[in-house]
């Protein structure tokens, strides 16, 4: 996997600019670093890459219905959610429905069957409400696609395909410089889109059930 510094230098080489020993060496390399993170987010949002898949767990306590998914942040996408203790898949419930359950007189307390995301904690991680309100200890498993935090240190390693991030950041850098009245930037962006389609096709062949992606 490529590092943040590797990606910045790859784009600098494409632009025929001097490479650097640290992303923060020059104003221009820092700007390329910003474009790398912009491109990374777009590539992450384009497909449910297996490299971003993770499982977060929450262990319930009796009478507590709100839990923090530590490490989830807010840009995740849900694959599925299971109550491991009861061996069943949990279902997403709309916010209005969940709110009604918590204010009715006869509130149910049992093994959780429904979930709904409800705000974030002070660390920026998503909170989840479950219903029925747990009557004991249950292990809940959240299978998610969690985009990587922005790259910041030179040695931070990227999880999504690095060549796609380099290609997209390069097209953004050309657009920023205004070269060739935008024609070169459009050509570079089209090459990125073709490479993205190829990468998605290859990964989809490995995981035949994961077929949804969005061209950026």
Q: How confident is the model at residue 210 (pLDDT cuts 50, 70, 90)?
A: low
End-to-end alpha carbon distance in the chain: 22
Read off the pLDDT of residues 35-54 as tens digits, 9 standing for 90 and up. 999 999 999 999 999 999 99
Q: Which of 176, 45, 80, 68 is nearest to 130 (CA)?
A: 68
Token duo for residue 186: 């459009």
Question: From CA 208, how far away is CA 204, in angstroms rounded?
Answer: 5
Question: pTM to 2 decimals?
Answer: 0.89
Average pLDDT of the residues of the chain: 93
Cβ-proximal residues to 109 (8 Å cutoff; 6+ apart), any chain: 62, 63, 132, 133, 134, 135
Which 8-state DSSP code applies to residue 156? Answer: P
């Amino acid at each position: 996997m490529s590092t943040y510094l590797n990606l910045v230098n790859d784009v600098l080489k494409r632009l025929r600019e001097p490479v650097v020993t640290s992303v923060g060496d020059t104003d221009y390399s820092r700007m390329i670093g910003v474009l790398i993170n912009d491109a990374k987010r777009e590539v992450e949002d384009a497909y449910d890459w297996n490299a971003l898949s993770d499982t977060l767990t929450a262990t319930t306590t009796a009478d507590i219905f709100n839990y923090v998914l530590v490490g989830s942040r807010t840009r995740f996408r849900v694959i599925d959610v299971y109550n491991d203790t009861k061996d069943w898949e949990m279902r997403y419930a709309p916010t209005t429905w969940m709110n009604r359950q918590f204010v009715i007189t006869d509130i149910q307390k049992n093994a959780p069957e429904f979930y709904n995301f409800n705000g974030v904690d002070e660390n920026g991680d998503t909170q989840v409400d479950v219903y029925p309100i747990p009557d004991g200890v249950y292990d809940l498993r959240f299978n998610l696609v969690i985009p990587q935090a922005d790259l910041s240190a030179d040695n931070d390693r990227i999880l999504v395909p690095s060549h796609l991030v380099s290609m997209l950041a390069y097209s953004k850098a050309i657009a920023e410089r205004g070269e060739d009245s935008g024609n070169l930037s459009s050509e570079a962006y089209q090459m990125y889109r073709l490479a993205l389609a190829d990468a998605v096709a290859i990964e989809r062949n490995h995981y035949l059930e994961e077929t949804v992606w969005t061209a950026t």
